[in-house]
Amino acid sequence: MPRSLLRLARRLPLTFALSVSLSASLAAQALPEPATQTAIGHFMAATQGSSDATQASLEQFQALLKAEPGHPLLMSYAGAATTLKARDAWAPWKKMSYAEDGLAQIDKALTLLDPAHDQALYQGTAVSLQTRFVAANTFLGLPDMFNRGPRGRQLLDEIQASPLFGKAPAGFQGAVLMRAARQASQAKQGERARSLYQQIIERQLPQATEAQAALKDAK
């Protein structure tokens, strides 16, 4: 590996910002609930820093993909879990390999989305929206050197602009708006961040208390 790439690899952070609302949607086909929910639970634990949970979630999503090959949401989760292994790896070349492999999976998942995934719902949310949200969170959680921030922001905008968004459960809508607000705050877009937090509060979404606290600190 070139030295310049090694230097970049060492800059991978210890954590990725993958605050995904994972209880809202899955499946163009019916997915096995116990196995799927277990994989989601491990993935959530992985985003909080558990390397054991990272490996468990990756293996579980890979197993689910064998049963449902080409399922975009399962593929996006598997890709996101793979990028988390970059966080946990010690060797710089391993970090880069995991990150690149995970991103390739997520990119493929996005290309697999079609109108059928707008219609397919799991617990009320379109599979297409959930797949994009997993991708957006992963992209926005990566270091700038991967140049995925603009695509992550674009995906968040696409989700909010979709006519399907207003039909999604309140928890999913709140999670998307919170992520968008935090991204706006990080980008020094205080007015936009405050507007998004205010939407959550006025619509009394489940994240309203969290948004109220964040609004006090938004600049």
Residue range 154-182, pLDDT digits in tens: 999 999 999 999 999 999 999 999 999 99
Q: In 3D, which of 121, 102, 10 has the Cα closest to residue 58?
A: 102
| Helix axis angle, 127-141 to 170-186, nearest 10° | 30
Q: In 3D, which of 216, 138, 167 has the Cα closest to residue 24?
A: 167
pTM of the model: 0.85
Confidence of residue 33 (pLDDT cuts 50, 70, 90): confident
**2/16 Cα distance (integer angstroms):** 25
Q: Does residue 16 surpass a pLDDT of 50? A: no
**110/122 Cα distance (integer angstroms):** 18
Confidence of residue 193 (pLDDT cuts 50, 70, 90): very high
How far are the Cα atoms of 7, 47, 190 from residue 144, in angstroms, in the given order?
14, 19, 21
pLDDT higher at 116 or 31: 116
**52/68 Cα distance (integer angstroms):** 24
Q: Give residue limits of the domains in the chain.
A: 12-148, 169-219
How far are the Cα atoms of 24, 36, 143, 175, 206 from residue 129, in angstroms, in the given order?
10, 18, 24, 12, 19
Q: Does residue 8 surpass a pLDDT of 70? A: no
Burial of 192 (0-12, 13-18, 19+ CB in 10 A): middle
Average pLDDT, stretch 36-59? 91
Which residues, at least 6 apart from 117, have a Cβ–Cβ distance to it below 8 Å? 28, 72, 126, 127, 128, 131
Burial of 207 (0-12, 13-18, 19+ CB in 10 A): buried
Q: Does residue 147 surpass a pLDDT of 50? A: yes
Burial of 78 (0-12, 13-18, 19+ CB in 10 A): buried
Q: Residue 216: its pLDDT value, please?
A: 83
Q: Residue 36: its pLDDT value, please?
A: 83
Average pLDDT, stretch 104-113? 97
